[in-house]
Structure 1
Amino acid sequence: MPKQLDLNSLSASELIALVKEVGGQRPFERKYGIPRTTLQARLKKARDEQWNHRPVLKPIEERVDQGVRRFILTSAQDRTVVHEGFLAQLEAYCAWLNEDAPCDIMIAGFTYNKSLFEDHAKRSGLFHHSLTKYLVFDHININGVVDFCAELNTRPTASNPLNGCENFTEDRWGIFPHAKLQIKSVPTHKQKQPKILLSTGCVTRTNYVPLRAGIKAELEHSLSAVLVETDHIGKFFCRHLIAEEDGSFYDLDRRISNGVVTTGHNLKSITWGDLHVKQIDPEVCAASFGIMPTNRRANGHRVWVENIPGSVIDTMRPEYQQFEDVSDFYARNHHNIKNALAPDQSHTIDDIENGMHGHEGVNGSRGSIAGYRRTGIKATFGHAHSCAVLGDVWQSGTKSKLDLGYNGGMSSWSHSDVWQYQNGHRVMITFHGNAWNIPVEKAGLQKSSSDIK
């Protein structure tokens, strides 16, 4: 005979713990002879009896009072194997950056368990011992400009993990822990810099329930992190570090592999933001190409300043370049009329389609990043002027001024390019004025040999 048990004699927490201890509702029914429907009714009542209050916690502030600070931010799944190679390279890169300015690794945990009574509080999760010293569980404000929302616990199977997070960080950039890599530009006033949201990717290997949602999530699982660099005047940059199979990765002209950082590597390709040369932003133009238009004219043409040092084109030396909307033709560009002037032609670089501008979708529909994602292709294009990443589809921003008249109201436009490294991985580079990163300034940088790409 099953042991008799008076459900009403148990507190809510005692009942939930007991059900969890025996392995769920059906084992509970078998052991105690209490119908599952009766148990469910009591559990509902128990939940209703639990009155709690969780106060809103203030963010932890990480300020930069002088010089530069850097942060490497990623996430990890509970009860999951760590990709040791990637973690080792992140640690090696962090140590290398620390020779220039302080750099910290922060890892936000997330849980993934299907048990009805599993405690999904992240602090009670079981994470690999190699991550313990890096784990964070709080909302962290970095220098008043970027928020790392480490307190959020989003299922790794979420298709669009940034949806619903647009206002979560107020007017600051937001970085959200998640196993997928995603980027989303949020509308702001056109006279201000855009607000951009990024998800981190993670440092743990795939570990999904083999059902539809889990199998789909495996396809977009990303071994990656976000590097944040900022200084005492509030300048900041955020970009992804995306691992290869062995954990190696690129960052700008640097390659981190086997615990060694080498520099001087060139890019495979750049998809520049839409140029619109007549309306190009002078500072962004200078930082990109080393030339800049002025307001002066000679012989009926604008005067351009040349040989501006530190440009992307001179530093990164890409093998291929994709130029989007070079001529503005304001009265007739496809933002002002309904017909595009030329069809797209296929051009693949390391199995990534670079030949589409992005304005045309499937079967004659209007182009969109969500529509291209559904086709399953890997692609990089421009057109929308708003940087975005959705699955294997990457969308660059613009080189134009952020207010061209036809983009009325608030705008999500950003000065962003998509770079493609020699390993086929991509990164979104967003400019702030005439800058695209905070340089590492230290002696003895180990340069790559001339035959290393």
Structure 2
Amino acid sequence: MVNGKEESSVKYPKIYVITAAQAAEFESVGEDDKKEQIPTGKGEPNRAVLASLEKYCEKRGAELIILPMAGKNAGETELHPELASRKDILWKRKKKLNSNIYVSDMVVPPQNVDCTTGRGRFVARDQTLIMAHSKQRMKAFPNSNFDLPKILLGTGAITLPNYNETNHRGDAAKRDHAYGAFIVEVVDDRLFHFRNVRALANGKFIDMGLEFNKGSKQKKAGLEALVPVDLHIADTDPLVRHANYEMIEEFGPKRLVLHDLFNGHSVNHHDWGKLVTLVRDVYLEGRADLTIELKQCYEELCSLAKAMKGKEVIVVASNHNEFLDKYLEAVRLKDDPLNAYMASQLMAKMMEGEDPVEAGLRKIGKIPKNVTFLKRDEDYKVLGWQLGSHGDRGMAGGRGSMVAREFANGKSITGHSHVPEILRDTYVVGTSTYLNLPYTKGSPSAWMNSDAMLWDNGTAQLVNIIYGKWRMNEKIIIPDEKYLV
């Protein structure tokens, strides 16, 4: 028994490729007494996408699972004839992959804008759930005070769109229809990796640096940008840091996009006036010195710039970087003799229009030539994706949210929330920190260590780092509970 449930007889490790097929539209053809039901083309398989997924399964020894879902209305339940007799159709739409992840039989109409709406309460009951849907979706939900979150996943589809395009709902659904799948690498009865693959209409998709294209031999793909988890130097989990360097080494990204480089613990306005917190968590932990924190940031920035071998390193303007701005604006240095000298120099730089974090790093040493600091009002777009927004600010001075990010940026990869998420072409990365920090203690959290990758075909992937590992070909060692998140 595992977690009170009967242990599966499945042998691990095991790889699954999970997608969905929308029911087809049929029309009646012929005389009244000899009418035949002929598929119209709506709900027909995208043969190129299906062939590429089959090639992937062949290459990796994976099991393909196709989940059936309704067509343009609940009455359309029959799949296209090419799909109906396939052995990889999971008609019952329910399967245990291990004790912590299941294929769910929840019924969500493919026309729904967000397949997770109203479904969050079910992950607490059934662990991480994968459900059939025509849009790719990932949403994390808290799971107790220290454990990894549970996830709701919408698969994406392998069939052509089948909607009533004469109404608003059907028209929007057709535009949002996404080809793709989720890859689940089950390590054992408890642990698993998962990541999305988004396929183009021509069937091509990229997973972990390899492009799959129908029956052709897979080829190496280029990584246009790696967007690691929010860094928060000095709060970084060393296992996550090591994983980030592994990805840089393996994929050789053209760009590295960094969020929350500066943690700001030495000047944190949230702690100001809290004597016990300042003594216990800042002074006694050696975290009160601004100069030391800037040195730590400088050393890590130089290390990352070196790992990138001359290719671009972009530092995105972020709210934790701006902890220093708030410290200087409030003239807190007058009550902080430890940091007054450095802060007074940075205040002058800020008055001259410079970013105080960048100015502080320049006081520590020379900034590598391949490093660029973005300003708050500066875009940075690659292949149409906005990579220059941190995600903390919404529209018209409001707070950031998934909807605000989508409206403001279109396609984007942002940070800030520490909770990885996918909503159509809006992606959010996680955090590089330990997942149980002093200021989150006692609060159920959905934080994860998740990086984003933007591939050269214009598709994006989220890759989760689980106890320091980001793919199945490495053994995962679970730390003790003090380390657990």
TM-score by length of 2: 0.67
1:379 to 393, 396, 412: 412
More helix by share: 2
Which position in structure 2 is the counterpart of 1:73? 18
Which position in structure 2 is the counterpart of 1:96? 59
Asked if 2 retains the 8 angstrom alpha-carbon contact of 1:190 and 1:402, the reply is no
Asked if 1 retains the 8 angstrom alpha-carbon contact of 2:148 and 2:446, the reply is no
Which position in structure 2 is the counterpart of 1:143? 98
Given the superposition, is the C-alpha separation of residues 387 and 63 from structure 1 closer, same or farther in structure 2, using an over 3 Å criterion?
A: farther
Which position in structure 2 is the counterpart of 1:437? 471
| Aligned length in residues | 350
Asked if 2 retains the 8 angstrom alpha-carbon contact of 1:64 and 1:231, the reply is no
Which position in structure 2 is the counterpart of 1:358? 391
Q: SS at the partner of 2:120?
A: coil
Q: Shift of the alpha carbon at 1:205?
A: 0.9
Q: Shift of the alpha carbon at 1:372?
A: 1.8
Which position in structure 1 is the counterpart of 2:223? 267
Task: String of CA shifts for 1:320-345, please: whole Å, max 9, x gaps.
Answer: 11100011112545877999456242
Q: 2: distance between equivalents of 1:216 and 1:89? A: 27
Asked if 1 retains the 8 angstrom alpha-carbon contact of 2:8 and 2:189, the reply is no
2:49 to 79, 86, 91: 86
Identical-pair percentage = 25
Which position in structure 1 is the counterpart of 2:263? 328
Q: Does 1:316 align with 2:272?
A: no
Asked if 1 retains the 8 angstrom alpha-carbon contact of 2:99 and 2:189, the reply is no
Asked if 1 retains the 8 angstrom alpha-carbon contact of 2:17 and 2:184, the reply is yes
Q: 1: distance between equivalents of 2:136 and 2:248? A: 26
Letter in 2 for 1:91: E
Q: Shift of the alpha carbon at 1:171?
A: 6.1
Given the superposition, is the C-alpha separation of residues 140 and 272 from structure 1 closer, same or farther in structure 2, using an over 3 Å criterion?
A: same
Q: For 1:13-28, list aligned pairs within 5 A.
A: none
Q: Does 1:243 align with 2:277?
A: no
Given the superposition, is the C-alpha separation of residues 357 and 86 from structure 1 closer, same or farther in structure 2, using an over 3 Å criterion?
A: same
Q: 1: distance between equivalents of 2:269 and 2:50? A: 46
Q: Does 1:403 align with 2:436?
A: yes
Given the superposition, is the C-alpha separation of residues 134 and 316 from structure 1 closer, same or farther in structure 2, using an over 3 Å criterion?
A: same
Q: SS at the partner of 2:122?
A: coil
Task: String of CA shifts for 1:235-293, please: whole Å, max 9, x gaps.
Answer: 3111112111210111102111142343543411111110001100111111111xxxx
Which position in structure 2 is the counterpart of 1:215? 171
Letter in 2 for 1:378: K
Q: SS at the partner of 1:179?
A: coil
Structure 1: runs of 5+ lacking an equivalent: 1-58, 290-310, 442-453
Asked if 2 retains the 8 angstrom alpha-carbon contact of 1:96 and 1:261, the reply is no
Q: Shift of the alpha carbon at 1:127?
A: 3.5
Q: 1: distance between equivalents of 2:264 and 2:414? A: 20
Asked if 1 retains the 8 angstrom alpha-carbon contact of 2:146 and 2:444, the reply is no
Q: Shift of the alpha carbon at 1:218?
A: 1.7
Asked if 2 retains the 8 angstrom alpha-carbon contact of 1:76 and 1:202, the reply is yes
Q: 1: distance between equivalents of 2:6 and 2:410? A: 40
Given the superposition, is the C-alpha separation of residues 362 and 416 from structure 1 closer, same or farther in structure 2, using an over 3 Å criterion?
A: same
Asked if 1 retains the 8 angstrom alpha-carbon contact of 2:146 and 2:445, the reply is no
Q: 2: distance between equivalents of 1:431 and 1:63? A: 27
Q: 1: distance between equivalents of 2:81 and 2:116? A: 26
Q: 2: distance between equivalents of 1:119 and 1:179? A: 17
Asked if 2 retains the 8 angstrom alpha-carbon contact of 1:183 and 1:198, the reply is yes
Q: 1: distance between equivalents of 2:233 and 2:164? A: 50
Which position in structure 2 is the counterpart of 1:257? 213
Q: SS at the partner of 2:407?
A: helix
Letter in 1 for 2:252: R
Q: Shift of the alpha carbon at 1:369?
A: 1.3
Letter in 1 for 2:54: E
Q: Shift of the alpha carbon at 1:188?
A: 2.0
Given the superposition, is the C-alpha separation of residues 61 and 404 from structure 1 closer, same or farther in structure 2, using an over 3 Å criterion?
A: closer
Q: 1: distance between equivalents of 2:13 and 2:58? A: 15
Task: String of CA shifts for 1:304-363, please: whole Å, max 9, x gaps.
Answer: xxxxxxx11111111111100011112545877999456242000000110001111111
Q: Shift of the alpha carbon at 1:126?
A: 3.4
Asked if 2 retains the 8 angstrom alpha-carbon contact of 1:387 and 1:414, the reply is yes
Q: Shift of the alpha carbon at 1:385?
A: 0.5
Q: Shift of the alpha carbon at 1:97?
A: 0.9
Given the superposition, is the C-alpha separation of residues 61 and 259 from structure 1 closer, same or farther in structure 2, using an over 3 Å criterion?
A: farther
Which position in structure 2 is the counterpart of 1:157? 111
Q: 2: distance between equivalents of 1:175 and 1:258? A: 25
Q: Shift of the alpha carbon at 1:429?
A: 0.6
Q: 2: distance between equivalents of 1:81 and 1:88? A: 14
| Alignment RMSD | 2.5
Asked if 1 retains the 8 angstrom alpha-carbon contact of 2:418 and 2:429, the reply is yes
Q: 2: distance between equivalents of 1:343 and 1:374? A: 18
Q: SS at the partner of 1:106?
A: strand
Which position in structure 2 is the counterpart of 1:166? 120
Q: For 1:37-52, list aligned pairs within 5 A.
A: none
Q: Does 1:107 align with 2:52?
A: no
1:412 to 443, 446, 453: 446
Given the superposition, is the C-alpha separation of residues 171 and 405 from structure 1 closer, same or farther in structure 2, using an over 3 Å criterion?
A: farther
Task: String of CA shifts for 1:371-429, please: whole Å, max 9, x gaps.
Answer: 12234611111011000111221111100111222234100111011111110100111
Given the superposition, is the C-alpha separation of residues 177 and 260 from structure 1 closer, same or farther in structure 2, using an over 3 Å criterion?
A: same
Given the superposition, is the C-alpha separation of residues 244 and 333 from structure 1 closer, same or farther in structure 2, using an over 3 Å criterion?
A: farther
* Larger deviation, residues 351-360 vs 125-134: 125-134
Q: Shift of the alpha carbon at 1:183?
A: 0.9
Which position in structure 1 is the counterpart of 2:40? none
Task: String of CA shifts for 1:59-89, please: whole Å, max 9, x gaps.
Answer: 9986443x42111101111111110000011
Q: 1: distance between equivalents of 2:21 and 2:403? A: 27
2:150 to 195, 202, 215: 195
TM-score by length of 1: 0.72
Given the superposition, is the C-alpha separation of residues 378 and 232 from structure 1 closer, same or farther in structure 2, using an over 3 Å criterion?
A: closer
